[in-house]
């Protein structure tokens, strides 16, 4: 069956064991797939999150929540103002 999901979530499942991310991929393309998956599954569109809420959501999948948060922001999947007071998911769909 072909994978029609642009986020590659079927392939992303291989990165998880018992609901936890086993490692953050080093390869940029693979990491991008993971980040899109996390943005879509952990964060609702049109909702503002505090840094604490983002950290708590990311902690449910991996202990290095700060690296995941940074990757999500750098990838443009989460945005935040300069003061870092809040976060919003930029992905739609």
CB atoms within 10 A of CB 80: 17
This prediction has a pTM of 0.85
| pLDDT tens for each residue of 34-74 | 999 999 999 998 899 999 999 999 999 999 999 999 999 99
Query: Which pLDDT value is given to residue 3?
Result: 40
Calculate the alpha carbon distances from 35 to 1, 28, 83 in Å. Answer: 24, 10, 23
């Amino acid at each position: 069956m072909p994978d029609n999901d642009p986020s590659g979530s079927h392939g992303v499942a291989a990165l998880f064991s018992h609901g936890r991310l086993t490692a953050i991929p080093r390869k940029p393309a693979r990491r991008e797939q993971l980040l899109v998956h996390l943005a879509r599954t952990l964060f609702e569109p049109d909702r503002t999150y505090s840094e604490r809420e983002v950290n708590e959501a990311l902690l449910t999948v991996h202990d290095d929540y700060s690296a995941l948060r940074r990757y999500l922001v750098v990838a443009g999947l989460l945005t935040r103002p300069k003061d870092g007071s809040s976060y919003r998911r930029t992905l739609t769909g």
